[in-house]
Amino acid sequence: MSLCLYSFFSVLLRRESIFAVVISLIGYLFFWVLKWEWLRILVAKITNILLLVTGFGVQREEFTLVIGSMRFYITQECTYADWFFVTVPFIYKLLPAKNKIMWLILVALSLFVFNIGRIYFAIAMNILGDSWFIVHNCISHIFWLSSFGCIVFLWFQKQLYHGVKGVGSNNPSEVK
């Protein structure tokens, strides 16, 4: 156990680890500086289309979806842009060496598609009678924390074994 904690803290105190955490904090501040109105409108429009196609009578008022007497506001946090900016430094290190920008765009698009599904699921389940707290808040936060935790864990594993000869290398000259 103490060796595991020692390894964790030795990786945590490396320069690239501190740099990744600082870049994540800057990314989170960048998220709050911008209003993300274009992304909020896009999320609202696509969610509106999905709800209409699946038979829910919905009206859209810019960032608000109105279904009967219920109003669902698409806020800045509903875009999941904060999740993307916080995890970019960790994801970037895990990506293959070639085409990192393409991979980041792919991650952003995958996150966008997942996020639309998450919002649609939360609204549909709330309309059908489930608690908003459960279907939106709990499920969203569980995803956010678990996915961020997995990315950080994988990043720390890569940092831990970075530079150790023979670990993860196909080069026979590096194997002991």
pLDDT of 79 reads 86
pLDDT tens-digit map of 19-74: 777 888 888 888 888 888 999 999 999 999 999 999 888 888 888 889 888 899 98
Q: How confident is the model at residue 165 (pLDDT cuts 50, 70, 90)?
A: very low
* Better-scored residue on pLDDT, 162 or 44: 44
Residue-wise pLDDT for 91-114, tens only, equals: 877 777 778 888 888 888 988 998
Q: For the whole model, what pTM was predicted? A: 0.72
9 pLDDT more than 90:
no
The closest alpha carbon to 147, from 104, 86, 69, belongs to 86
The secondary element (H helix, E strand) that includes residue 59 is strand 59-61
Beta bridge partners of 70: 67
